[in-house]
Amino acid sequence: MTSASIHPSAVMGTGCDVHPSAVVGANVRMGDGVRIGPGVLVEGPCTIGDRCVFEAGSVVGPGDAEDGNVVIEQDARLSAGAIVRGGLVIAGGARVQAGAVVLRSVPPHAIVAGNPAQIVGYVPSFGGEGTDTPAAPGVAAHGTGAITTRVRGVTLHRLPRVLDLRGNLSVGEFGRSVPFAPKRYFLVFGVPNAEIRGEHAHRTCKQFLVCVNGSCSVVADDGRHREEFVLDDSAIALYLPPLTWGIQYKYSADAVLLVFASEFYDSAEYIRDYAEFRRLAEMQA
């Protein structure tokens, strides 16, 4: 570490490992246990959380953004040749795949790839390279009804389907197949494929999601376990109880997501900060 090029203004935590061929510039602040690989360039201003990993040839710099500060939160990883530029945040536990060029902030535990980088998955809480993704049609083996998931309180539902030459029908009954009586519904449609919806939890509101046309993926997170579900059948639904962090993405061009909610809209009922959600979820566990 002594032969690495580290600017005198850089601040390093304990247990950091910087390869001799790496360059750490001015105004870089590292937490504990950060690993900087060969050929890495980190330019400030940049704040790096504990246990972050920068693999060979990755680059972090201010770019052309007016606020050039880059924040890389704890346990994030940049794979070989990844580039992060501008005033953005790589949130805790995120993964930037090899060669990706990140031009906007990355949410917690997201996996991004490509140029410009887009979200391609989410890191599971139980190890591996991406969220466990049960294909929705797999519920058919259970007939109609609900099956449990790894995520606390989240259930995947197969709704009754009636096939008829005059037109097919799928039905749900509130308080039966839908486990609550809704007070409102909303539709999400026309979402560009690269965009992410949700990224919040609710304090008291229950939700029941049905993709009535096309397909989308839903990530459910209880603070300890995280799973991804593919909704590509109008007879498949996903129930999200309160204090579940929900994300919807990978929308097909024709996707229409129908969401039933147990409460009227109240902005104060939303939890939009992942760290706050984790604290509340731990109190409930």
Residues known to be catalytic: 200
Distances (CA, A) of 127 to 98, 225, 235: 19, 10, 31
Residues 62/68, Cβ–Cβ less than 8 Å: yes
Rounded-to-integer distance, Cα 220 and Cα 232, Å: 16
Residue 167, burial from CB neighbour count under 10 angstroms (0-12, 13-18, 19+): exposed
- Dihedral pair phi/psi, residue 280, rounded to 5°: -65, -40
- Dihedral pair phi/psi, residue 208, rounded to 5°: -135, 115
And the tokens for 195? 């965009």
Query: With DSSP H G I counted as helix, E B as strand and the rest as coil, what are the percentages for the chain, rounded to 5?
Result: 5, 40, 55
